[in-house]
Amino acid sequence: MPDRITALFFELFSGLPRQGPGTTVNTQRALGFVPDIGPRTRVLDIGCGTGAQTLVLAASTPAHIVAIDTHPPFVDALNREARRLGITVRLQARVADMRSLDFADGSFDLIWCEGAIYNAGVERGLRDWHRLLSRNGHVALTEVCWRKPSPPAECVAFWNREYPAIRSTSALLEAVEGCGYTIVSHFPLPASAWWDDYYRPLQDNINAFRERYRNAPDAQELAGQCQHEIDIWHAHSEFYGYEFLVLQAR
Ligand code: SAH
């Protein structure tokens, strides 16, 4: 992306409680499938964004957490919050690329990744990260899936353009098992996980952004693309959704 568009993109997504679908309750539900989390448990949160789920992990467990993201302002925001909460001893955020993580083998007992593994690709991510886990370590991730056959053409066209790797829940589960993991549990994120903390505040941002950049065609086009994503969701969300997967390394 050219620099101006990248800057506009991050402006459009700034100030949101999260940068993808998810909720506190669903993070806690997934956490409930991971046994024996204690003060010696080491967690890596990949693609943490501003840390919505990282802070839930920190509040719900005594674990040590490293959170990574490629976007420095997100990492800074999370570290500021960790300082404010006085938990920097066990929560540190760093700038790093999920496609080239240089932690030593066996550095973590649990890898968390909400709404972000698509940036590496599910198979590539899971295969690369396997070595970072301790023996029989766990991974919890969310990924978008087709939920029903025969989605309408405009919905298929949207996903073919945005993320052609989208597949059915059963195809996703099968692929994950092929990467050296056993499925501990999985459940769909409800519609509220898309709306409450993600699309609703994003819609407010889009409205204000459109007003602010009334005379800038490139900004309007960008806002239009985001609006289209939300419109597709309103019209067709019964056909797709995020699945939360909790896995154990074999
Ligand atoms: N987990 C957060 C953010 C999800 S959005 C939440 O659910 O709210 C996806 C995040 O992945 C963004 O913060 C983006 O900056 C980050 N990201 C994109 N490519 C990345 C990469 N190659 N390595 C690490 N993080 C990446």
pLDDT per position as a tens digit, 65-86: 999 999 999 999 999 999 999 9
pTM, two decimal places: 0.97
Which of 12, 19, 76 should be mutated for ligand 1, with most atoms under 8 A from CB?
A: 19
Q: How far is the CA of 215 from the centre of ligand 1 (A)?
A: 30
Residues 205 and 14: beta-carbon distance below 8 Å: yes
pLDDT score for 1: 66
144 lines ligand 1 (CB under 6 A): no
High-pLDDT (> 90) share of the chain, %: 99
User: What distance in Å separates the CA atoms of residue 69 and residue 177, rounded to the nearest whole number?
Assistant: 26
75 lines ligand 1 (CB under 6 A): no
Q: How far is the CA of 57 from the centre of ligand 1 (A)?
A: 17
User: What distance in Å separates the CA atoms of residue 93 and residue 27, rounded to the nearest whole number?
Assistant: 18
**36: its two tokens:** 């024996």
Residues 45 and 66: beta-carbon distance below 8 Å: yes
pLDDT digits (tens, 9 = 90+) for 11-22: 999 999 999 999
Instruction: Tell me the average pLDDT of the chain.
Output: 97
User: What distance in Å separates the CA atoms of residue 43 and residue 103, rounded to the nearest whole number?
Assistant: 12
- Residue holding tokens 């939360």? 244
Query: How many C-beta atoms surround the C-beta of residue 58 within 10 A?
Result: 23
User: What distance in Å separates the CA atoms of residue 135 and residue 57, rounded to the nearest whole number?
Assistant: 21
**249: its two tokens:** 């390394």
pLDDT for residue 196 is more than 70: yes
pLDDT score for 172: 98
Per-residue three-class SS string for 48-81: CCCCHHHHHHHHHCCCEEEEEECCHHHHHHHHHH
Model confidence band, residue 2 (pLDDT cutoffs 50, 70, 90)? confident
- Residue 53, CA atoms < 13 Å, CB-side half-sphere: 34
Cα angle 192-14-161, degrees, rounded to a multiple of 5: 65
